[in-house]
């Protein structure tokens, strides 16, 4: 047992050590697996706020040809659960994330003697605290770590690898000739229907008795991923592992097709047995493929059993074309096959294998052959670059990277995964594209100029429908359902091309005219309605999809709201009159005449206090004036009665508008009313011209 210990130098402070073990968190990537995290279980619950990446050192020691320790770059650190998922609370688990690259972090060792990838026999992560750094665990200050450094990465109990979770990697099969295979399988969810079987055959470096090597080295786990499985509506994945290498002639030596693989018969026996043991495998949808050595074996399988498989997807395949007879070419020319390779492949010469075979198949009349030929193999994620800033270049043999990342397309834009998911030996339908061809030709003749006045949403849908229809028409594997759906979508989009954008000239002019009005000058009730209609009119003007009817309605509603605006009236005269009435003494007047004043006064005060009163102000003033004028003196009233004001109205309770507002309002009303009439006529003319 190796323990990595680091403590912060102390004088009077006592050492507090947190001890624990760790698991390697492994992720399959383009170049193979990488240890992206270490998940550490400690004997103390560490406060989450005390954990950060700056506090940790991680040094990797592993089986390699240099055996030199490497300082791993820490990119994050946090408290977590047992599976490395971040938590915001105290925890006995700490997860440390580390940078990985094609040359950093792999738990694999390539053994040149056997020509295979294997798990590193020695793999250590020495985790320590940076000098002076501490962690907190409740009341304790942790200043040292004692983490067991050794990790047996080949043991599932000491690693976390979610990509492998869906696979059963413990399966074996012994054929009648005595050959024993280890294999991995992925089972689709129960769905009460038949499912396709996708077979993956590994490269030369992944032979042996541990299928996890096969799954992670070539990123085969992608076949169990959501995207791939959704395309197939659920698929079985079978990944057999050759005890040595698929191209083994029986003596341990390579052959290129001239002698045949010693595993050919026993592998086919394994496939047949597996299919029979899983009754819901659709025997018309058995698809075989693989890379390099596995690409070779894919070719040998379909050449020996051309009627068994629904399709094949050989990648950088190594079956030399010179060993394929004309009769064999004839036997597979009608099989759907997708070839993938890179022109910079220096391990397998494409000219001797894929390119030569594809040429002969096409010459023989093959109609369902697809090819993804790449100039080189490079990183497409943007994570890694060469010294000159260009995407990091992988070995040209690694074209399986593109397939596993779903980046394989043929010259017509057909996608490999989507194409494979549709292959079925008994589909046999004759797909009629006549109507789609007519629609595509008409749609392709429509220019951007023709679409200039069409509402934007219709333009966007039309272009997407047109692109989809072109792709479906050019797809030789398209089903009748796909053709019909593409035609329906395009036809529907073309039917909407008469949806023209509304003429917004008058609406814009009116918006500009009234946008400068001030809310403070108008009654709250009428301004609220006006402001709502103004905002809706602006929204219609800015809506690229607004049609003429919407524009007309917005214009009409805005003009109506504007005409209904009411200025806040000048209440100063009414205020003076109220004060005058309040100053009268009722004993000086007849009961009947003074009662009329009191009634008019009550109405006047209510109007004065109403912020939304308009015409009511003048009416209340006139009524109160008339009542005061109609007062009749009380002949019996003594001459010394006090006539002083008792309860004057306070000035300034209501903001008064300036004298000139009434004039300006009338002018504006007259001008904008005229503009609304002219605008309405313009809109009607434009509508008439479109009819």
Per-residue pLDDT tens for 156-165?
A: 999 999 999 9
674: how many CB neighbours lie within 10 A of its CB? 10
79, 53 contact by CB (below 8 A) = no
Q: Which are the contacts of 256, defined by CB distance < 8 A and separation ≥ 6?
A: 247, 296, 318, 319, 320, 323
Closest CA to 107 of 163, 30, 210, 25: 25
Burial of 51 per CB tally in 10 Å (0-12, 13-18, 19+): buried
pLDDT at 427 (0 to 100): 62
With respect to CATH, is domain 571-630 assigned 1.20.1270.90?
A: yes
Residues 415, 410: Cα–Cα separation, whole Å: 7
Helices 434-444, 456-474: axis angle to 10 degrees equals 130
Pick the CATH number of 162-422 from 3.40.605.10, 3.40.1180.10, 3.40.50.1820, 3.40.50.300: 3.40.50.1820
pLDDT at 467: 94
Domain residue ranges in the chain? 17-159, 162-422, 433-497, 504-564, 571-630
Would 162-422 and 571-630 be classified into the same CATH topology? Answer: no
CA distance 533 to 562: 9
The Cα–Cα gap between 248 and 255 comes to: 7
Instruction: Name the H helices within 543-568.
Output: 548-563
pTM here? 0.64
Cα–Cα dist 413/430, whole Å: 22
Q: CB–CB of 689/602 below 8 Å? A: no
464 CB-near residues (< 8 Å, 6+ apart): none
Selection from 42, 24, 41 nearest residue 33 by Cα: 24
Q: Which portions of the chain are predicted below pLDDT 70? A: 1-13, 427-431, 476-477, 498-502, 567, 569-571, 573-574, 614-615, 621, 637-691
What tokens were used for 219? 């990123």
Ramachandran category for residue 292: left, alpha or beta (phi over 0 → left; psi -120 to 50 → alpha):
left
CB 160 within 8 A of CB 41: no
Please tell me the predicted confidence (pLDDT) of residue 574: 65
Q: What is the pLDDT of residues 403-433, one digit of tens each?
A: 999 999 988 888 999 999 999 987 645 567 8
* Separation between Cα atoms, residue 630 and residue 592, nearest integer Å: 10
Cα dihedral value 556, 558, 559, 565, nearest 10: 140
Edge-first strand order for the sheet with 337-342 is 167-174, 180-186, 235-241, 195-201, 281-291, 311-315, 337-342, 369-374
pLDDT at 573: 65
Non-local (6+) Cβ contacts of 438 within 8 A are: none
Residues 558-584: b if buried by 16+ CB within 10 A, e if exposed: bbebbeebbbbbbbeebbebbebbeeb
Cα 61 from Cα 72, distance rounded (Å): 10
Give the CATH fold of the 17-159 domain: Immunoglobulin-like (2.60.40)
Instruction: Yes or no: say if 73 and 53 are a contact pair by the CB < 8 Å rule.
Output: no
Record the tokens describing residue 534, joined without a space: 């103004």
8 Å CB contact between 72 and 115: no
CATH fold of 433-497, please? 1.20.5
Rg of the chain, C-alpha, whole Å? 42
Which positions ≥6 away from 142 have C-beta within 8 Å?
A: 16, 17, 18, 44, 46, 129, 134, 135, 136
Query: What is the rounded CA–CA span in Å between residue 50 and residue 91?
Result: 11
Helix (H) or strand (E) holding 433: none
Question: 349-381 burial by CB neighbour count: b if 16+ within 10 A, else e?
Answer: ebeebbbbbbebbeeeebebbbbbbbeebbbee
């Amino acid at each position: 047992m190796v323990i990595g210990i680091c403590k912060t130098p102390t004088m009077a402070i006592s050492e507090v050590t947190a001890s624990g073990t760790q698991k390697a968190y492994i992720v399959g990537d383009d170049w193979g697996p990488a240890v992206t995290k270490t998940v550490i279980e400690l004997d103390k619950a560490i406060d989450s706020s005390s954990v950060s990446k700056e506090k940790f050192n991680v040094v990797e020691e592993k089986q390699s040809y240099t055996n030199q320790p490497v300082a791993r770059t820490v990119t994050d650190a946090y408290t977590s659960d047992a599976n490395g998922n971040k938590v915001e609370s105290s925890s006995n688990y700490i997860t440390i994330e580390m940078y990985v690259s094609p040359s950093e972090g792999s738990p694999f060792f390539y053994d040149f003697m056997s020509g295979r990838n294997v798990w590193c026999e020695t793999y250590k992560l020495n985790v320590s605290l940076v000098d002076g750094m501490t962690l907190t665990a409740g009341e304790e200050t942790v200043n040292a770590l004692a983490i067991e450094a050794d990790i047996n990465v080949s043991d599932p109990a000491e690693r976390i690898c979610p990509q492998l979770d869906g696979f059963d990697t413990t399966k074996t099969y012994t054929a009648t000739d005595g050959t024993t295979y280890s294999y991995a399988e992925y089972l689709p969810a129960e769905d009460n229907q038949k499912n396709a079987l996708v077979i993956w055959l590994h490269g030369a470096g992944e032979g042996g008795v541990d299928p996890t090597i096969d799954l992670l080295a070539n990123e085969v786990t992608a076949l169990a991923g959501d995207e791939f499985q959704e395309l197939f509506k659920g698929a079985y994945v079978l990944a057999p592992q050759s005890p040595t290498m698929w191209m083994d002639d029986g003596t341990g030596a390579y052959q290129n097709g001239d002698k045949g693989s010693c595993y050919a018969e026993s592998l086919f026996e394994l496939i047949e047995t597996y299919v029979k043991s899983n009754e819901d495998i659709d025997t018309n949808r058995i698809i075989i493929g693989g890379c390099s050595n596995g690409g070779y074996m894919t070719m040998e399988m379909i050449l020996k059993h051309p009627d068994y498989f629904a399709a094949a997807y050989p990648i950088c395949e190594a079956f030399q074309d010179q060993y394929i007879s004309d009769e064999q070419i004839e036997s597979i020319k009608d099989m759907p096959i997708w070839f993938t390779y890179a022109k910079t492949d220096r391990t397998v010469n494409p000219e001797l294998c894929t390119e030569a075979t594809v040429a002969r198949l096409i010459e023989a009349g093959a109609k369902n052959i697809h090819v993804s030929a790449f100039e080189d193999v490079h990183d497409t994620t943007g994570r890694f670059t060469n010294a000159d800033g260009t995407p990091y270049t992988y070995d040209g043999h690694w074209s399986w990277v593109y397939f596993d990342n779903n980046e394989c397309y043929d010259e017509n834009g057909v996608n490999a995964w989507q194409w494979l998911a549709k292959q079925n030996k008994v589909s046999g339908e004759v797909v009629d594209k006549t109507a789609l061809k007519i629609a595509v030709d008409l749609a392709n003749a429509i220019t951007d100029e023709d679409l200039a006045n069409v509402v934007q949403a219709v333009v966007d849908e039309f272009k997407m429908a047109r692109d989809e229809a072109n792709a479906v028409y050019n797809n030789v594997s398209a089903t009748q359902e796909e053709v019909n759906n593409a035609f329906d979508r395009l036809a529907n989009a073309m039917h909407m091309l008469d949806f023209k954008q509304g003429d917004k000239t008058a609406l814009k002019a009116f918006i500009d005219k009234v946008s400068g009005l001030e809310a403070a000058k108008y009654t709250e009730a009428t301004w609220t309605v006006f402001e709502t209609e103004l905002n809706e009119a602006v929204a219609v003007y800015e809506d690229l999809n607004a049609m003429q009817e919407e524009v007309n309605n917005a214009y009409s509603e805005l003009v109506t709201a504007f005409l209904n605006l009411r200025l806040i009236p000048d209440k100063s005269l009414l205020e003076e009159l109220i004060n005058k009435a309040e100053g009268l003494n009722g004993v000086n007047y007849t009961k009947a005449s003074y009662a009329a004043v009191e009634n008019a006064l009550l109405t006047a005060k209510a109007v004065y206090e109403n912020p939304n009163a308009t015409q009511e102000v003048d009416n209340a003033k006139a009524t109160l004036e008339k009542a005061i004028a109609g007062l009749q003196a009380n002949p019996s009233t003594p001459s010394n009665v006090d006539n002083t004001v008792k309860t004057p109205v306070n000035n300034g309770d209501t903001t008064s508008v300036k004298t000139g507002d009434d004039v300006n309002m009338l002018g504006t009303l007259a001008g904008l009313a005229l503009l609304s009439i002219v605008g309405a006529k313009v809109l009607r003319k434009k509508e008439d011209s479109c009819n």
